[in-house]
């Protein structure tokens, strides 16, 4: 069986457990459970499947970005040339529009 990662909720160790199925007493169901908080996987057919499910982590959400603040910072870092700043601002607006599904024809 694969090595188990720490619990994603509390960081404690986890262990595999098995139980007999009520449907078929010869069929053993396997899952992984946290020793501290009790977080558990669903039942799986093998310890390897349960370990793989336990070790799978959701992708963390992307951090919120202050887009307006980034644009202001970029514009402040550019040379003091109005035409260059206007061109860069226009490019940024079009890119943001495309990224959010808006009309980028401007």
pTM exceeds cut of 0.85: no
Mean pLDDT of the residues in the chain: 81
pLDDT above 70 (res 103):
no
Domain limits, the chain:
14-55, 67-99
Supply the pLDDT for residue 65. Answer: 76
Burial 49-78 (b: 16+ CB within 10 A, else e): bbbeebeeeeeeeeeeeeeeeeeeeeeeee
- What percentage of the chain carries pLDDT values higher than 70? 82
At 18-57, the pLDDT tens digits run 876 555 566 678 899 999 999 999 999 888 899 999 999 7
Supply the pLDDT for residue 35. Answer: 94
């Amino acid at each position: 069986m694969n090595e188990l990662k720490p619990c994603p909720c509390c960081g404690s160790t986890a262990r595999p457990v098995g139980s007999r199925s009520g449907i078929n007493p010869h069929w053993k169901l396997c899952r992984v459970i946290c020793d501290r908080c009790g977080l558990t996987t669903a039942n799986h057919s093998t310890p390897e499947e349960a370990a793989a499910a336990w070790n799978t982590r959701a992708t963390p959400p992307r951090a919120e970005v202050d887009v307006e603040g980034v644009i202001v910072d970029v514009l402040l870092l550019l040379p003091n040339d109005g035409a260059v700043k206007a061109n860069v601002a226009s490019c940024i607006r079009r890119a943001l529009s495309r990224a959010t599904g808006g009309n980028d024809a401007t």
